Amino acid sequence: MMLKKNLLSVIFVLTFGFSSYAQLPTPNNYIVFVDLSARIEANHQREKDIDLLKYLVNKFKKQVEELYKSGKIYSQDKFSILFYPDLEDENIIELTSSLEVDFSKMDYNNRLAYYIKNFPKDQEPVLLEAFNSVYDIALQQNPNYFGSNIYDFFSYSVEYYLKENYNNHIILFTDGYMYMANENPQGQGNELGHLEGPMLDPFRTNKNWEKLYVTKNYKIVSANIKLPKQTTITLLEMLPDCISRTRIEPKKPCPNEYKVLRRFWQDWFLEMGIDKNAIKIHKSSNNLTGVKSSLDLLFRN
């Protein structure tokens, strides 16, 4: 009798991925921060950003569907799309309210209706449709882009979006140049308040830039935060382009730029307590296959 009961339990788990006899998987919290500065004017940048966001949202949707059983959704996963600063538009509050899907807020009996509302059949998911509109508004800022305050996001805001007892995944869309007009922290010596322009010139033509970086203790000003252990950080679409960002003459491409930017960002995240293996930094590319394969690791399916 006991053997039969155990066998039925195994069949149930294999069929539905969870059961009353087995604990539900650790829920996931996806925090997507999109840099809506002048980077969005780069060739094909919008198409790539939306393509990758769509891929992430569809992976999230399938992951939620894995925990569906008998008319109920048991997923407690969350997905948010964020940007800062706010955009000046009369519809922005309504749009931003649609950029979050959080199944943990809903009672089990109401999660299916919540799923159907946010992922309507044969239509774009609500948060993707809303973000497309946000992107339109951001492009209308041209040429007066404010920048993107990633520093303040980590220093003051990220804790609000993290969830206890979750796998937290922070995904950044940025070109790698940290800049926010008049709001960057004050640099102190070789601790840089932003990554932009002449701040990076000492590394651009220096074959021994790594030695300079280490011996002179270069870094980004500390965000003074320690992130939970179960946190990953994925930086997407880094686009090293120093030609318009340097005072070095004559202006020419900087072969060190990507490696320099990657080192600054990686060390900043390490200081926040993130494991080196949990940090992924991807250079911008027109072929997104490899990036999508890396993103697959953030999901159960």
The CA distance from 127 to 141, in Å, is: 22
- Residue 117 is predicted with a pLDDT of 97
pLDDT value for 185:
76
For residue 78, is pLDDT > 90? yes
Cβ neighbours of residue 109 closer than 8 Å, sequence gap 6 or more: 72
pTM of the shown model: 0.91
pLDDT computed for residue 181 by the predictor: 65
204-237: pLDDT as tens digits:
889 999 999 999 999 999 999 999 999 999 999 9
Q: Are 185 and 223 in contact (CB under 8 A)?
A: no
Average pLDDT of span 24-29? 95
Judge whether 89 and 137 are in contact, CB under 8 Å: yes
Beta-carbon contacts of 64 under 8 Å, excluding residues fewer than 6 positions away, are 73, 75, 77, 103, 115
The C-alpha atoms of residue 173 and residue 39 are separated, in whole angstroms, by 10
**Average pLDDT of every residue of the chain:** 89
Q: What would the mean pLDDT of 183-202 be, rounded to a whole number?
A: 84
Per-residue pLDDT reduced to its tens digit, 29-59? 999 999 999 999 999 999 999 999 999 999 9
Task: Say which range, 127-136, 163-172, 200-209, 283-292, has the weakest mean pLDDT.
Answer: 200-209
| pLDDT of 15 | 42
Q: What is the Cα–Cα distance from 125 to 121, expressed in whole angstroms?
A: 9
HSE-up of residue 187 (Cα within 13 Å, Cβ side): 16
Q: Give residue 19's pLDDT.
A: 52
Q: Alpha helices, DSSP H only, in 140-241? A: 150-152, 158-161, 201-204, 209-215
Count of other CB atoms within 10 angstroms of residue 179 = 24
Instruction: Tell me the mean pLDDT in the region 259-274.
Output: 97
